[in-house]
């Protein structure tokens, strides 16, 4: 059996799940359906397939440490994280994935391309479909997975199938754009139509041959970007200028709708793209009135609502068919039928340069996380958590001083020429302009409160002199 190389595309922004999903911490990193994030669930699900290599995760620079940490948490430390200089849609991502698979596992390796932010409830059916697709892909066919439709959906593209072929697959007759409701209902009534879930499997050499014929400029640019990629700590950075020459195009338009060498394998595994808050409607109801709730929620005379509470009590009276999503800094309220329009709110937030579009109150860093608990004129209070064995960069601020109070754990502090330990309930002062560093030398998370004071408190007031995560100008990536 040919080696299967799982490729998880993790570069999306997930704006339709705002306010929980933000640009700097989008939906693929959220625990929306259980103890694992969508990325972690996807990686674990595909790891159950036989003859699979460690996954390749393709994402952006801003998310690199979150990706690495989430994979480490579920024991997938052999994974490769490839960083795109910028998002160029799925066709360039598929191209560099095929080059990667060729270089590491040979030209006949099977690339299994999928989004990292989808959900599957029947893992056994998923594995069976993937293994059936691998048999067909090994013969030289490009395989797409057709999701068995459960209702007339207008938010997905469709794939019309032709004649049945060996292995339970079908010829592909046509790719169909997202339809109007009447047409979607006709597709369901007629049969022979599947949702396009954006999952594909192909031999690396087969896909690259098709790409070379159909998109020669993209093929050449993606190959150059891969050939000049560099390793930066544990990440692979694609070459910037060549990658930007790749046309911004989906794999469907670039290859799948044009090639004749394609087959469809049906997938009936409880698939969902978790594309909007309506996905909560597929969870079991919490009461006889059809309400689906998560978190601290209290309802009175309510029916068929979807409520997600993150940090506080959410109470509702006499409401129906309403979506409510609460976070620390934003609340979304919308009729269930209009929840897709949340992207209009996100667009307005971006236009107004509001932080709520990009960042959550909790910001993740490679060493841990921080969250702002109070902010006023000339002061800011943060709660900082540093993971065991990790340390922040050696840095200095031009415009602010800081007080650190240890709440839990032990801190090693560098301040100027001093180097000392702080235990619980102890504190220290970092004067403006002093070089300093914070480390957790212990085996439990370090939690502290930081009180900042000064004329400017922005995150860009950081001068880094040394950093174990390669965030200084002196960081020197090496050729892959």
User: Is the pLDDT score of 252 beyond 50?
Assistant: yes
User: Is the pLDDT score of 73 beyond 50?
Assistant: yes
CA gap 159, 196 in Å, rounded: 6
Give the tens place of pLDDT for each residue, 396-421: 999 999 999 999 999 999 999 999 99
Mean pLDDT, range 38-51, rounded to an integer: 93
User: Is the pLDDT score of 250 beyond 60?
Assistant: yes
User: Is the pLDDT score of 51 beyond 80?
Assistant: yes
pLDDT for position 323: 96
pLDDT band at 182 (very low <50, low <70, confident <90, very high): very high
Mean pLDDT, range 68-92, rounded to an integer: 92
Percent of the chain with pLDDT over 70: 98
User: Is the pLDDT score of 471 beyond 80?
Assistant: no
CA gap 21, 25 in Å, rounded: 6
Task: Decide: 161 and 172 in contact? Cβ < 8 Å.
Answer: yes
pLDDT for position 476: 47
pLDDT band at 167 (very low <50, low <70, confident <90, very high): confident
In order of their start, the domains of the chain are 4-272 (3.90.550.10), 277-346 (no CATH), 367-465 (2.60.120.10)
CA gap 19, 38 in Å, rounded: 17
pLDDT for position 480: 60
User: Is the pLDDT score of 14 beyond 80?
Assistant: no
User: Is the pLDDT score of 478 beyond 60?
Assistant: no
pLDDT for position 124: 95
Nearest to 367 by CA among 331, 405, 400, 411: 411
Give the tens place of pLDDT for each residue, 284-297: 889 999 999 999 99
User: Is the pLDDT score of 103 beyond 90?
Assistant: yes
Side-chain half-sphere exposure of 88, counting CA atoms within 13 A: 26
pLDDT band at 363 (very low <50, low <70, confident <90, very high): confident
Summary mean pLDDT of the chain: 92
CA gap 402, 156 in Å, rounded: 50
CA gap 393, 462 in Å, rounded: 10
pLDDT for position 243: 96
pLDDT band at 352 (very low <50, low <70, confident <90, very high): very high
Check the CA dihedral 246-29-81-465 and report its sign.
Answer: positive
pLDDT for position 25: 87
How long, in residues, is the chain?
480
User: Is the pLDDT score of 477 beyond 60?
Assistant: no
Q: What angle in degrees, to the nearest 10, is found between the helix axes of 216-227 and 90-105?
A: 50
Nearest to 147 by CA among 165, 116, 126: 126
What values do phi and psi take at 213, rounded to 5? -75, -40
pLDDT for position 470: 75
Task: Decide: 261 and 142 in contact? Cβ < 8 Å.
Answer: yes
Q: Which of 144-148, 281-285, 351-355 has the lowest mean pLDDT?
A: 281-285
**Would you call the peptide bond into 134 cis, given omega within 30 degrees of 0 as the criterion?**
no
For residue 339, what are its two tokens?
């929840």
Judged by phi (left if over 0) then psi (alpha if -120 to 50, else beta), residue 443 lies in alpha
Nearest to 464 by CA among 402, 393, 403, 416: 393
CA gap 55, 78 in Å, rounded: 8
CA gap 438, 25 in Å, rounded: 24
Pairing relation of β-strands 80-84 and 56-60? parallel
CA gap 467, 470 in Å, rounded: 6
| 263-288 as b/e: b if 16+ CB within 10 A | bbbbbbbbbbbbbbbbbbbeeeeeee
Mean pLDDT, range 381-389, rounded to an integer: 96
Q: Which of 184-188, 230-234, 320-324 has the lowest mean pLDDT?
A: 230-234
Predicted TM-score (pTM) of this structure: 0.88
User: Is the pLDDT score of 344 beyond 50?
Assistant: yes
| 340-354 as b/e: b if 16+ CB within 10 A | eebeebbeebeeeee
Burial class (CB in 10 A: 0-12, 13-18, 19+), 440: buried
């Amino acid at each position: 059996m040919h080696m299967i190389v799982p490729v998880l595309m993790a570069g999306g922004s997930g704006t339709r799940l705002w306010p929980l999903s933000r640009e700097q911490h989008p939906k693929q990193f959220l625990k929306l359906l259980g103890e694992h994030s969508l990325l972690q669930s996807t990686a674990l699900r595909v790891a159950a397939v036989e003859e699979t290599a460690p996954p390749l995760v393709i994402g952006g620079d801003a998310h690199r440490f979150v990706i690495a940490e989430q994979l480490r948490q579920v024991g997938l430390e052999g994974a490769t994280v490839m960083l795109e200089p910028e998002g160029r849609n799925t066709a360039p991502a598929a191209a560099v994935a095929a080059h990667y698979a060729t270089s590491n596992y040979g030209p006949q390796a099977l690339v299994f391309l999928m989004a990292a932010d989808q959900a599957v409830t029947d893992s056994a059916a998923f594995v069976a479909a993937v293994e059936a697709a691998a048999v067909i892909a090994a013969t030289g066919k490009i395989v797409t997975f057709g999701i068995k439709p459960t209702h007339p959906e207008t938010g997905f593209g469709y794939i019309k199938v032709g004649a049945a072929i060996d292995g339970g697959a079908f010829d592909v007759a046509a790719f169909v754009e997202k339809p109007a409701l009447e047409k979607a209902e006709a597709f369901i009534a007629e049969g022979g139509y599947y949702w396009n879930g954006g999952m594909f499997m192909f031999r690396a050499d087969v896909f690259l041959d098709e790409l070379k014929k159909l998109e020669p400029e993209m093929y050449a640019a993606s190959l150059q970007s891969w050939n000049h990629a560099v390793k930066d700590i544990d990440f692979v950075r694609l070459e910037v200028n060549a990658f930007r020459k790749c046309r911004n195009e989906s794999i469907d338009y670039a290859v799948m709708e044009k090639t004749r060498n394609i087959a469809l394998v049906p997938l009936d595994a409880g698939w969902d793209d978790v594309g909007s808050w309506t996905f909560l409607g597929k969870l079991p109801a919490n009461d006889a009135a059809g309400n689906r709730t998560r978190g601290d929620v209290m309802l009175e005379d309510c029916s068929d609502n979807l409520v997600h509470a993150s940090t506080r009590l959410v109470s509702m009276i006499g409401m129906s068919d309403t979506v409510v999503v609460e976070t620390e800094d934003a609340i979304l309220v919308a009729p269930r039928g209009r929840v897709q329009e949340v992207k209009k709110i996100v667009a307005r937030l971006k236009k107004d340069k509001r932080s709520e579009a990009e960042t959550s109150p909790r910001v993740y860093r490679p060493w841990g996380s921080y969250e702002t608990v109070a902010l006023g004129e000339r002061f800011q209070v943060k709660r900082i958590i540093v993971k065991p064995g990790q340390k922040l960069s050696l840095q200095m601020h031009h415009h602010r001083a800081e007080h650190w109070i240890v709440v839990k754990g032990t801190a090693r502090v560098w301040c100027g020429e001093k180097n000392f330990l702080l235990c619980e309930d102890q504190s220290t002062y970092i004067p403006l302009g002093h070089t300093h560093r914070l480390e957790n030398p212990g085996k439990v998370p370090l939690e502290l409160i930081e009180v900042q004071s000064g004329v400017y408190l922005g995150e860009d007031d950081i001068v880094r002199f040394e950093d174990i995560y390669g965030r200084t100008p002196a960081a020197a990536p090496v050729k892959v």
